[in-house]
Amino acid sequence: MSDRKMRFACLTKKGTAEVRERPLPELGDYDVLLDMKACNICTTDYQQWLGLREHQGYPMAGGHEAAGIVKETGAKVRDLVPGDLVAAGYPGCGHCAACRNGEPNQCDEYASDTEDGYKWGFFGFSDYTVKSINELFKIRSSVKPSEAGFLEPLATVLHGMKKLRVKPFETVVVIGAGTMGLINAQAAKAYGCRVIVSEMLEKKIETARSMGFEVIDCSRQDPVEAVKKLTDGEGADAVIVAVGATSANQQGLSMLKEKDGRILLFAAGYPAPEIEIDSNTVHYRRMEVLGTFGADNRDFEEAARALSSGIIDVSKLIEEKTFRLDQIQEAYAYASEPGRYRVSVLLD
């Protein structure tokens, strides 16, 4: 540890986020010192603040949707220079089979708990932090740091897209126009699909419409019937369930076309939602029920390109109201209100 300190936010118990200090880790040969610029509050963060994911443990120094500027580089870092904008991917040991295969999310060697006792030690909500070059992805410096912070959520969406194998001109229904739903919708559109979004909250319906999607207001009409109508009775080629709810799972199954439909379960819910289907139906209708979680480094690279080029535009998925590190408690409270898009903590 160096004698330099970093200030960071962590969750210490249900409903409590606080700013602490710890020594800044030493800059190893392949490490980068980051001047952090923004970190967005993910569902995994605020649901722990709400006490819904306490299995994640305390104190939790999360904040994985983070972006910063390279301040200093370790002696052997060649690919990044001071001034580069980078966003965080997943940390791994760097040496095991999974890491060498570009899948640090499958790494069993890396301990996300730090030696000084922090769970989920991403330290995204910090003024400065040190990260290995292995887990950093460069983004065009004209991208706003709060938008660069979408690297990880977008990477997980692109991972799901590959599992779902969408093809141009297919009809894809996205259930839920929250942050992850609308990233999924944009990705499906980028793949050349017709995208229909189902949502019940007015604010989210408006956001989805403003992005150019066909929207079903499922508070006013049965989304299954609406999808059938919009597809001349055929149903969807694929459905992405971006809400963690049993009713959304059942709607998704019912919207699929008669044969070879695919459904992707993108979201977790607490308590765990259920999905009810008999195996004969899956068998005779040749259905695919797919799950996805996390991303590999190839997904991160693609996500960095998509954000840098603007092919995926996340600007409408960030709340206008932003917070500073010292306002972390208010930021969590605001992010936890129903219907919020990503809440960004600015770290300057």
CB-CB contact of 315 with 40 (8 Å):
no
* Candidate list 69, 93, 190, 289; residue touching Zn ion; CB under 5 A: 93
Nearer to Zn ion, 207 or 297 (CB): 297
Does 176 interact with Zn ion (rule: CB under 5 A)? Answer: no
The strand pair at 65-73 and 31-41 is best described as antiparallel
The strand pair at 238-241 and 262-265 is best described as parallel
Nearer to Zn ion, 109 or 225 (CB): 109
Does 24 interact with Zn ion (rule: CB under 5 A)? Answer: no
Compute the least distance from the CB of residue 142 to Zn ion, in Å. 23
Could you tell me the two tokens for 230?
């919009």
* Candidate list 50, 69, 96, 245; residue touching Zn ion; CB under 5 A: 96
Q: How far is the CA of 231 from the CAs of 102, 190, 196, 226, 256, in angstroms? A: 39, 20, 10, 9, 11
Name residues contacting Zn ion, limited to 103-162 (CB under 5 A): 107, 109
- DSSP state letter for 205: H
**The CA-based dihedral angle spanning residues 158, 163, 168, 169, taken in that order and rounded to the nearest 10 degrees:** -110
Name residues contacting Zn ion, limited to 247-286 (CB under 5 A): none
The strand pair at 65-73 and 5-13 is best described as unpaired
Choices 12-20, 93-101, 252-260, 297-305 (CB under 5 A): range interacting with Zn ion: 93-101
Nearer to Zn ion, 149 or 261 (CB): 149
CA-CA distance, 103 to 296, in Å (whole number)? 5
Could you tell me the two tokens for 1?
């540890």
Does 42 interact with Zn ion (rule: CB under 5 A)? Answer: yes
Does 289 interact with Zn ion (rule: CB under 5 A)? Answer: no
Q: Quote the distance between the C-alpha of residue 149 and its chain's center.
A: 9
- Find where tokens 């709060």 sit: 146
* Candidate list 11, 32, 33, 99; residue touching Zn ion; CB under 5 A: 99
Q: If binding means CB under 5 A, how many residues of this protein chain bind Zn ion?
A: 7
CA-CA distance, 336 to 4, in Å (whole number)? 33
Does 92 interact with Zn ion (rule: CB under 5 A)? Answer: yes
Nearer to Zn ion, 93 or 346 (CB): 93
Choices 35-43, 193-201, 269-277, 324-332 (CB under 5 A): range interacting with Zn ion: 35-43
Compute the least distance from the CB of residue 283 to Zn ion, in Å. 35
Compute the least distance from the CB of residue 120 to Zn ion, in Å. 11
Nearer to Zn ion, 96 or 333 (CB): 96
Could you tell me the two tokens for 208?
């989805």
Nearer to Zn ion, 108 or 222 (CB): 108
Query: Bridge-partner residues for 40, per DSSP?
Result: 65, 344
Does 292 interact with Zn ion (rule: CB under 5 A)? Answer: no
CA-CA distance, 208 to 177, in Å (whole number)? 6
Choices 84-92, 210-218, 278-286, 320-328 (CB under 5 A): range interacting with Zn ion: 84-92
CA-CA distance, 174 to 305, in Å (whole number)? 23
- Interface residues with Zn ion (CB under 5 A) are 42, 92-93, 96, 99, 107, 109
